Structures are given as structure tokens and as C-alpha cells.
A and B are shown apart, each in its own frame.
Chain A
Amino acid sequence: MTVRESESIERRLAEEVRGGRPPRDLQRTFQLLLATIWLFDAVLQLQPFMFTKGADGFSGMLKGLADGNPAWVADTIRWNASIVAHQPILTNAAFAGIQFLIAFGIGYRRTTKYALGLSIAWALGVWWFGEGAGGIFQGGATPFGGGPGGVLFYAVLAVLLWPSDGDGRPFVAAQSIGVLAAKVIWIVWWALLAVLSVVGAGRSPQALHDLIDGMMAGEPGWLAHIDRVSEGFMLHHGTAAAIWLAVLCVAIAISVLLPAPVARVILVIGITVFFLIWIGVQNLGGILVGGATDPNSGPVAILLLLMYWPRTDATVAAPSNEAISTEVEA
């Protein structure tokens, strides 16, 4: 620790004494939560089956994503899967390494921008080659199952969390790109989710039942019990559930145009519903049975919803504290 660093810490803590504990830099907190998820994904990439050749391995999983897609999409997915199949250790180690790089890069303030840029590019690549474009082209991209692709949320989050000195009003997501752009992204995103809820297999009770049924094998008893309840519900009320999810997504989309108290109520409902979907339908991304590469869209959808939480003046970080924290990190 240099003298300059120690003086910076002294000074920051002295500020805290004078003005009480400063409001938390929420944009930074969200960046670190995103980095934590990337780190989790990186470690999941090191699971033994990821290094395994053949149908039971990572390449087999990638190849399976091509099924049901148009030929021009399927060909690119199979091409990527064949590279992984030929060099499973090398490619998988590289994939894990890139995700470690993103996680640590976001965590270290000096490299946050580069890491977020890399995460956008990587997320788009994974979305196409590793998630089969989220199932959009095969009509199965229902938000119940994580559509339009959990990793696509990562890219949206990275854009909205681009480092900025803004004051984070009226919500954190507006800090970097401005209020108008943040609202446009929000409305387009949730309108897309509303549409995906009711198109293709998304509104089919049988498809929604099968979606849950297909993930139930090997789950712990408590989760399998929840699965049985939710698959029974979907079989009888799947279409209604899809329509209600679409209505909720529309309500979330327009919440940025509504007064803050109303928006907060809608966001709370959205967070609750997506948490329940993450548990009862997505089975926490299948991580508990092994073989998952990420926790699916539940956590990142909730993170996105929290980033649009209307803020009061008391929760907005004062610029002086921002400047001090930047100096300390430098």
C-alpha cells in the first residue's frame, strides 16, 4: 500500500465520518452482481461434462440446439459444435477463460468498460451458438423457459451498466445512456417478451407442461414436487398463464411511463413472478442436476427489473463521493 493509497482511504473514511455513510453507488453494485453471475458461469464451464466428447458432452449439447432451427441457423450451430467436438479441452478451457476474464474485468474498475464490451460480444456469440438463438427461430422462445435467451439479458445489462458519472436518476439504468434511451430499450425489450409469451409453443399447455417435465429428472425432491404442481397447472391453464404473462410484460413495459408508486408496484409483481418462474418452471436453470452452463434468465431478469426501480433523492449517490471512490480505486 502506497502513501497515496493510504491517504485516499483516510480521506474517504473521514468523509464518511463527516457526512455519515455515503449512499451506495448502485450502478457499481449492479456491475458487480453481473460480474458475480459471469464468475458463476465461468466455474460452471469447468464442470467435468463440459470437457467430455460425444453426445453426453458439451459439444453434444450444442449440436442438439440446432434441431428445429432453419437450415442457415442450424448449420452455424453445428459448425461451432463440430469445432468443440474436435478440441473439447482446448475450446472449453478458452470459453471458461473468457468468462473469468469478463468477471474479473468488470470487478476491477480500470477494466470495467473493456470487460463490459467483451461481455456484450461474448453474450451475443453464446446466444447464437450456445443457446440456438434462444429458440426464437423455432417458436419456442417463451419467457417461461428463459426466452429469448438468458444470455441475451447479459448483453442488455452490460449496455445499461456502461460506466458513467451520471447521477442515476430516475433509475440506475438511465445513468449511462440517458433516460430516453433507457426507456426505449425497456419498452422494446418487454414488448418482445410479451410477444414471445403468446407466439409459437409459448401458449401451448402441452408444450409448457413438457418444458417442465423435461427438466424434472434428477432434481432434488423439494424442487421435483414444485415441478409436479407447476406442470399440472400448465397442462390445465397453460394458455391463460401465457396470456397473463404477456399482460404482465406489457404492464412492465409501460411502467416507466407511469408515476413512481405505480411503477414500483408493477416491478414488485414482475420480480415476484419471474422469481417464481425461475424456481417452478426454469428449475434454477437446471444447475442443481449438473450440466447447466448458466442459471437461465430468472436472476438476470430480476436484476434488470431492479435497475429500473424509481429512485428517491436519498438513494442517489452524491457526486463528491463518486469522485472520491474513483480516486481510491485509481
Chain B
Amino acid sequence: MGTPSWLYYLFGVLMFAVVAYCAVLLIVSIATKRPAGRDIDIAHILMGTAMAGMFVPAWAFGPSWMWELIFGALLVWFIARAILSLQRFGTHVPHTSIHALMAGAMLLMYWFPMPASSGDSVGMMGGMGGHAPAHLDAGIGYLLAMIFFGSAIFTLAARGRGRSHHDDVQPVITTATTAAPSFGDTLTVTDVVQEAEVGSLPWLEDLSHVVMCIAMGFMLILMV
């Protein structure tokens, strides 16, 4: 007897809940022509869909190389944004770095697929790509898991809600930004408030990040 299958179904359902919520956010932001946080919403939709398929193999679709390509592109995108943020605001930990790590972790999950297990869940990606099973280095897996758990807790405890999607709020405030921020722009408090006004719930955005972090950490621990 291993982990009960309902646990994996629970995580799978949670992943789809995150996907559904982020899809709504994305649609709202497109409808209102506000680009803020779109890349993170897209990343959560893709990661949630892929992870749901890992927890419940029956829900998986698409070849492994497709997902590797997607998460490779996301990794490059978030690294580029982190570099731009560093160039613009000097030494700090860019918010997008956690999303880059998450994209990197997704890549690792596809590069080191877990062998199929008993039951109808936790087969993960064993049969998705036809790769020979290889093990993820336990140290890397646990280190990433700890970072994700830390991110989950610190997001939960953050002073301002919604920072998991809209961080990089800098101490130097421009109190009335009217132009929509472009790639790499810093969101101001005003932006965050406006975003809230068009339908998103900042605490729910944080919750989706927390759920994603825990699910990803759990998956990494299962893999090693």
C-alpha cells in the first residue's frame, strides 16, 4: 500500500483549480487591455495543466518534448525579465526568479521522469516521452522543494496581497502611473489597485502561487 490515490487526485484537482482561476485572470486582463501579470498567469496555466497530468496520468496529454519546449521558453523568458529587473533597479532578488526556478523545476520533471507506479495515479510521466527512467539528484530536488516551500510561506505572510503576481513594487513610488506598464516595467501600488478593480482577487492570486509551490515541492520529493 502506498500513498492513497485520492491524495493525487486532490492535488490534480487543485492544479486544475489554479489553471481555471489563472485562465479567468488572463481573459480579464486581455479584455481590459492590461498586460500586468499575464506571463505569470500563462505560466501557472501551463504548469498547472502539466502537473495535473503528472499527479493523475489519465489527465496527461501531449508529448514530453512539447512540454520541455514550453517550459524551456518560460525559463528563458523569466530569466530575461529577472536580468532586466536587475539592470533597472540594481541588486535585489527579482520576483520573476521564483517563476524561473519553477519553470526550471518543470523541465527537470520531464528530463528525469518518475517510473510508473502502482494504481491509476502517480504514474507521472513514465510513459509520456519514452525516455529511459533516470533519477533526479536528490540534493537538487530537495533544495528546490525547500525554496518553493519558503516561497509559499513568505507569500502567505507577505504584507501586501497579490505580490506573487505583481511584485517588483519598488520603494520609489510614482503615485499615479497612468500608462499601462510594458515589458519589464515596475508596477506601482496604483497598478495593483487598478488590477484588483478589474476582477482579480490578490489573496486568491497568492493562494494559487502557494498551491503551485506546494504541489511542485511534493512532486520533486516524490521524484527523488
Contacts and interface: CB of A to CB of B under 8 A. Distances in A.
A5 B171 contact: no
Interface string B133-146: 00001110010011
Contact of B193 (A6, A20, A28): A6
Given A51-B3, A220-B138, A290-B224, A13 B171 contact: yes
A168 B107 CA distance: 43
Nearest to B161: A1
Contact of A43 (B117, B138, B218): B218
Contacts of A6: 189, 192-193, 196
Contacts of A46: 3, 7, 218
A40 B145 contact: yes
Contacts of A106: 153
B157 A9 contact: no
Contact of A48 (B2, B138, B154): B2
Interface residues of A, number: 49
B36 interface: no
Contact of B159 (A88, A222, A328): A328
A5 B158 CA distance: 13
B152 A39 contact: yes
A288 B139 contact: yes
Nearest to A22: B171
Contacts of A9: 159-160, 189, 192
Contacts of B214: 39, 43
A12 interface: yes
Interface in A82-119: 88-89, 93, 103-104, 106-109
Contacts, number: 112
A220 B137 contact: yes
Contacts of A33: 150
B149 interface: yes
A21 B221 contact: no
Interface string A288-300: 1110000000000
B1 interface: yes
A107 B156 contact: yes
Interface range, B side:
35 or more
A32 B150 CA distance: 8
Contacts of B1: 51-53, 57, 88
B159 A39 contact: no
Which of A13, A44, A328 has its CB near the most chain B CB atoms (within 10 A)? Answer: A13
Given A9-B160, A9-B189, A287-B142, A32 B153 contact: yes
A46 B8 CA distance: 10
A14 B138 CA distance: 44
Nearest to B151: A36
B195 to A, nearest CB: 9
B132 interface: no
Contacts of A28: 157
Interface string A245-278: 0000000000000000000000000000000000
Nearest to B154: A32
A297 B39 CA distance: 40
A43 B221 contact: yes
B12 interface: no
B217 interface: yes
Interface in A6-39: 6, 9-10, 12-14, 16-17, 20-21, 28, 32-33, 35-36, 39
B156 A108 contact: yes
A17 B153 contact: no
A28 B158 CA distance: 11
Contacts of A89: 4
Given A9-B192, A28-B157, A47-B222, 17 more contacts: A1-B161, A1-B196, A6-B196, A9-B159, A10-B189, A12-B160, A13-B169, A13-B189, A17-B173, A36-B154, A43-B214, A46-B7, A50-B3, A51-B4, A57-B1, A88-B1, A288-B224
Interface of A: 1, 5-6, 9-10, 12-14, 16-17, 20-21, 28, 32-33, 35-36, 39-40, 43-44, 46-53, 57, 88-89, 93, 103-104, 106-109, 220, 222, 284, 287-290, 325, 328-329
Interface of B: 1-4, 7, 117, 122, 137-139, 142, 145-146, 149-150, 152-154, 156-157, 159-162, 169, 171-173, 175, 189, 192-193, 196, 201-202, 214, 217-218, 221-222, 224
21 contacts: A1-B162, A1-B202, A6-B193, A9-B159, A9-B192, A13-B173, A14-B173, A17-B172, A17-B173, A32-B154, A36-B149, A39-B152, A39-B214, A40-B149, A47-B221, A48-B122, A103-B153, A104-B156, A109-B157, A325-B159, A328-B160
